[in-house]
Amino acid sequence: MSRYRSRNRYDRYSYFPQSKSKGERMADAARKRQALEKKGTALSPVVLEGFAIATTCWGKAWCRNIESYQDYANRLPRGRSYVRSNSVIDLRIAPGAVQAQVMGSSLYRVDIGIKRVARERWAAICAACGGRIGSLVELLQGRISSEVMDVMTRPGEGLFPQPAEIAFKCSCPDIAGLCKHIAAVLYGIGSRLDRQPELLFLLRGADPADLLASAAAASGAAAA
Protein backbone atom coordinates (compact mmCIF):
# COMPACT_ATOMS: atom_id res chain seq x y z
CA MET A 1 0.00 0.00 0.00
CA SER A 2 1.33 3.44 -0.88
CA ARG A 3 2.48 5.56 2.01
CA TYR A 4 0.88 8.58 0.34
CA ARG A 5 -2.65 9.41 1.37
CA SER A 6 -5.28 9.32 -1.33
CA ARG A 7 -6.60 12.70 -2.48
CA ASN A 8 -10.09 11.23 -2.65
CA ARG A 9 -12.15 12.88 0.10
CA TYR A 10 -14.09 9.69 0.73
CA ASP A 11 -12.48 7.18 3.05
CA ARG A 12 -12.48 3.68 1.54
CA TYR A 13 -14.32 2.33 4.58
CA SER A 14 -16.77 5.19 5.08
CA TYR A 15 -19.66 6.68 3.16
CA PHE A 16 -18.98 10.13 4.54
CA PRO A 17 -16.29 12.47 3.19
CA GLN A 18 -13.23 13.31 5.22
CA SER A 19 -13.35 16.58 7.13
CA LYS A 20 -12.31 19.74 5.33
CA SER A 21 -10.25 22.52 6.82
CA LYS A 22 -11.89 25.76 7.92
CA GLY A 23 -10.42 27.54 4.90
CA GLU A 24 -11.84 24.95 2.51
CA ARG A 25 -15.28 25.16 4.10
CA MET A 26 -15.25 28.95 3.91
CA ALA A 27 -14.25 28.85 0.25
CA ASP A 28 -16.96 26.30 -0.58
CA ALA A 29 -19.60 28.35 1.22
CA ALA A 30 -18.53 31.57 -0.51
CA ARG A 31 -18.65 29.93 -3.94
CA LYS A 32 -22.11 28.47 -3.31
CA ARG A 33 -23.44 31.81 -2.02
CA GLN A 34 -22.11 33.62 -5.07
CA ALA A 35 -23.59 31.03 -7.43
CA LEU A 36 -27.03 31.21 -5.81
CA GLU A 37 -27.04 35.01 -5.62
CA LYS A 38 -25.99 35.20 -9.26
CA LYS A 39 -29.15 33.25 -10.07
CA GLY A 40 -31.20 35.78 -8.14
CA THR A 41 -31.65 33.78 -4.92
CA ALA A 42 -32.00 36.04 -1.88
CA LEU A 43 -29.98 34.71 1.04
CA SER A 44 -29.68 35.66 4.70
CA PRO A 45 -26.32 34.17 5.71
CA VAL A 46 -24.78 33.93 9.17
CA VAL A 47 -21.46 35.74 8.89
CA LEU A 48 -19.37 36.10 12.04
CA GLU A 49 -17.19 39.16 12.47
CA GLY A 50 -14.70 37.31 14.65
CA PHE A 51 -14.23 34.02 16.47
CA ALA A 52 -17.09 34.59 18.92
CA ILE A 53 -20.42 33.18 17.78
CA ALA A 54 -22.42 35.56 19.98
CA THR A 55 -21.43 38.71 21.85
CA THR A 56 -24.65 40.14 23.34
CA CYS A 57 -26.61 38.88 26.33
CA TRP A 58 -29.38 37.42 24.16
CA GLY A 59 -27.07 35.58 21.75
CA LYS A 60 -24.83 34.29 24.54
CA ALA A 61 -27.82 33.14 26.58
CA TRP A 62 -29.23 31.21 23.61
CA CYS A 63 -25.90 29.44 23.04
CA ARG A 64 -25.53 28.58 26.73
CA ASN A 65 -29.02 27.14 26.67
CA ILE A 66 -28.40 24.73 23.79
CA GLU A 67 -25.05 23.75 25.34
CA SER A 68 -26.92 22.70 28.47
CA TYR A 69 -28.68 19.92 26.53
CA GLN A 70 -26.76 16.73 27.25
CA ASP A 71 -28.27 14.98 24.23
CA TYR A 72 -26.63 17.56 21.94
CA ALA A 73 -23.14 17.51 23.45
CA ASN A 74 -21.43 15.20 20.93
CA ARG A 75 -22.41 17.17 17.83
CA LEU A 76 -22.17 20.74 19.07
CA PRO A 77 -18.38 21.13 18.56
CA ARG A 78 -18.70 20.33 14.84
CA GLY A 79 -21.62 22.72 14.63
CA ARG A 80 -19.48 25.48 16.12
CA SER A 81 -16.76 24.87 13.54
CA TYR A 82 -19.29 25.01 10.71
CA VAL A 83 -20.90 28.27 11.80
CA ARG A 84 -17.44 29.80 12.30
CA SER A 85 -16.67 28.82 8.70
CA ASN A 86 -19.69 30.83 7.50
CA SER A 87 -21.19 27.57 6.25
CA VAL A 88 -24.74 28.62 7.22
CA ILE A 89 -25.42 30.51 3.99
CA ASP A 90 -29.10 31.13 4.68
CA LEU A 91 -31.08 31.29 7.93
CA ARG A 92 -34.64 32.50 8.33
CA ILE A 93 -36.66 32.67 11.55
CA ALA A 94 -40.46 32.62 11.57
CA PRO A 95 -43.07 31.88 14.25
CA GLY A 96 -42.28 28.37 15.49
CA ALA A 97 -39.89 27.57 12.65
CA VAL A 98 -36.33 28.04 11.43
CA GLN A 99 -35.31 27.24 7.86
CA ALA A 100 -31.69 27.22 6.79
CA GLN A 101 -29.21 26.07 4.16
CA VAL A 102 -25.81 24.81 5.22
CA MET A 103 -22.88 24.15 2.93
CA GLY A 104 -21.13 20.87 3.75
CA SER A 105 -19.90 18.30 1.23
CA SER A 106 -23.09 19.43 -0.56
CA LEU A 107 -25.71 22.07 0.13
CA TYR A 108 -28.12 20.77 2.77
CA ARG A 109 -31.48 22.07 3.92
CA VAL A 110 -32.23 22.22 7.64
CA ASP A 111 -35.71 22.62 9.09
CA ILE A 112 -36.18 23.22 12.82
CA GLY A 113 -39.57 23.38 14.46
CA ILE A 114 -39.84 24.98 17.90
CA LYS A 115 -43.07 24.93 19.88
CA ARG A 116 -44.48 28.28 20.82
CA VAL A 117 -44.11 29.14 24.46
CA ALA A 118 -47.05 27.88 26.50
CA ARG A 119 -49.53 30.60 27.41
CA GLU A 120 -49.23 29.80 31.10
CA ARG A 121 -45.45 29.98 31.02
CA TRP A 122 -45.47 33.30 29.17
CA ALA A 123 -47.97 34.73 31.66
CA ALA A 124 -45.71 33.61 34.51
CA ILE A 125 -42.68 35.23 32.84
CA CYS A 126 -44.55 38.50 32.39
CA ALA A 127 -45.72 38.45 36.00
CA ALA A 128 -42.21 37.72 37.30
CA CYS A 129 -40.76 40.58 35.23
CA GLY A 130 -43.56 43.00 36.14
CA GLY A 131 -42.34 46.49 37.05
CA ARG A 132 -38.72 45.74 36.09
CA ILE A 133 -38.71 46.63 32.39
CA GLY A 134 -38.78 50.29 31.41
CA SER A 135 -39.09 50.05 27.61
CA LEU A 136 -39.00 47.68 24.66
CA VAL A 137 -35.72 49.20 23.48
CA GLU A 138 -34.20 48.60 26.89
CA LEU A 139 -35.38 45.00 26.80
CA LEU A 140 -34.06 44.20 23.32
CA GLN A 141 -30.72 45.89 23.93
CA GLY A 142 -30.26 43.83 27.07
CA ARG A 143 -30.20 46.89 29.32
CA ILE A 144 -32.27 45.12 31.93
CA SER A 145 -31.62 43.86 35.43
CA SER A 146 -29.95 40.54 36.05
CA GLU A 147 -33.15 39.42 37.78
CA VAL A 148 -35.16 39.94 34.57
CA MET A 149 -32.53 38.17 32.46
CA ASP A 150 -32.55 35.27 34.91
CA VAL A 151 -36.33 34.95 34.58
CA MET A 152 -36.20 35.14 30.77
CA THR A 153 -33.46 32.51 30.42
CA ARG A 154 -34.22 30.16 33.32
CA PRO A 155 -34.11 26.51 32.07
CA GLY A 156 -37.57 25.00 31.80
CA GLU A 157 -39.27 28.19 32.94
CA GLY A 158 -37.95 30.98 30.72
CA LEU A 159 -38.42 31.85 27.08
CA PHE A 160 -35.79 29.49 25.66
CA PRO A 161 -37.05 26.10 24.43
CA GLN A 162 -36.25 22.74 25.97
CA PRO A 163 -35.19 19.70 23.86
CA ALA A 164 -38.71 18.25 24.00
CA GLU A 165 -39.98 21.44 22.36
CA ILE A 166 -37.58 21.20 19.42
CA ALA A 167 -37.89 19.01 16.31
CA PHE A 168 -35.42 19.07 13.44
CA LYS A 169 -34.44 17.42 10.19
CA CYS A 170 -31.62 17.78 7.69
CA SER A 171 -31.35 16.61 4.10
CA CYS A 172 -27.83 15.23 4.69
CA PRO A 173 -27.23 11.44 4.80
CA ASP A 174 -26.14 11.47 8.46
CA ILE A 175 -28.49 9.18 10.39
CA ALA A 176 -27.70 10.84 13.73
CA GLY A 177 -30.61 12.61 15.38
CA LEU A 178 -28.62 15.84 15.56
CA CYS A 179 -26.11 16.28 12.73
CA LYS A 180 -23.41 18.95 12.54
CA HIS A 181 -25.48 20.96 10.07
CA ILE A 182 -28.39 21.24 12.51
CA ALA A 183 -25.95 22.09 15.30
CA ALA A 184 -24.50 24.86 13.11
CA VAL A 185 -27.98 26.30 12.58
CA LEU A 186 -28.72 26.21 16.31
CA TYR A 187 -25.60 28.28 16.90
CA GLY A 188 -26.51 30.47 13.92
CA ILE A 189 -29.73 31.39 15.72
CA GLY A 190 -27.65 32.68 18.63
CA SER A 191 -25.59 34.81 16.27
CA ARG A 192 -28.72 36.17 14.62
CA LEU A 193 -30.19 37.11 18.01
CA ASP A 194 -27.15 39.33 18.56
CA ARG A 195 -28.44 41.62 15.82
CA GLN A 196 -32.16 40.95 15.99
CA PRO A 197 -33.14 39.86 19.52
CA GLU A 198 -36.80 40.48 18.70
CA LEU A 199 -36.67 37.30 16.60
CA LEU A 200 -36.62 35.24 19.80
CA PHE A 201 -40.08 36.54 20.68
CA LEU A 202 -41.24 35.92 17.09
CA LEU A 203 -39.89 32.37 17.18
CA ARG A 204 -41.61 31.52 20.47
CA GLY A 205 -44.86 33.26 19.54
CA ALA A 206 -44.57 35.71 22.44
CA ASP A 207 -45.47 39.40 22.26
CA PRO A 208 -42.91 41.56 24.10
CA ALA A 209 -45.64 44.18 24.49
CA ASP A 210 -47.14 41.87 27.11
CA LEU A 211 -44.03 42.44 29.25
CA LEU A 212 -44.49 46.20 29.05
CA ALA A 213 -48.18 45.89 29.89
CA SER A 214 -47.30 43.78 32.91
CA ALA A 215 -44.67 46.31 33.94
CA ALA A 216 -47.15 49.16 33.61
CA ALA A 217 -49.76 47.27 35.62
CA ALA A 218 -47.24 46.53 38.35
CA SER A 219 -46.14 50.19 38.46
CA GLY A 220 -49.77 51.33 38.66
CA ALA A 221 -50.49 48.95 41.51
CA ALA A 222 -47.41 50.13 43.39
CA ALA A 223 -48.41 53.77 42.94
CA ALA A 224 -51.94 53.05 44.15
- 67-120: per-residue pLDDT in tens? 988 777 788 999 999 999 999 999 999 999 999 999 999 999 999 999 999 999
CB distance 187 to 77 below 8 Å? no
Q: How far apart are CA 195 and CA 191, in angstroms?
A: 7
Q: How far apart are CA 1 and CA 15, in angstroms?
A: 21
pLDDT given for residue 176 in this prediction: 76
Pairing of strands 97-103, 107-114: antiparallel
**Sign of the dihedral defined by the CA atoms of residues 38, 44, 49, 53, in that order:** negative
pLDDT given for residue 52 in this prediction: 94
Please say if the pLDDT value at position 50 is more than 50.
yes
**Sign of the dihedral defined by the CA atoms of residues 152, 64, 26, 96, in that order:** negative
Q: For 44, left (φ over 0), alpha (ψ -120 to 50), or beta?
A: beta
Interval 5-42: pLDDT, tens = 333 444 444 444 557 888 899 999 999 999 999 999 99
CB distance 122 to 185 below 8 Å? no
Interval 109-151: pLDDT, tens = 999 999 999 999 999 999 888 777 777 777 777 777 788 888 8
Taking the CB of residue 181, how many other CB atoms lie within 10 A of it? 28
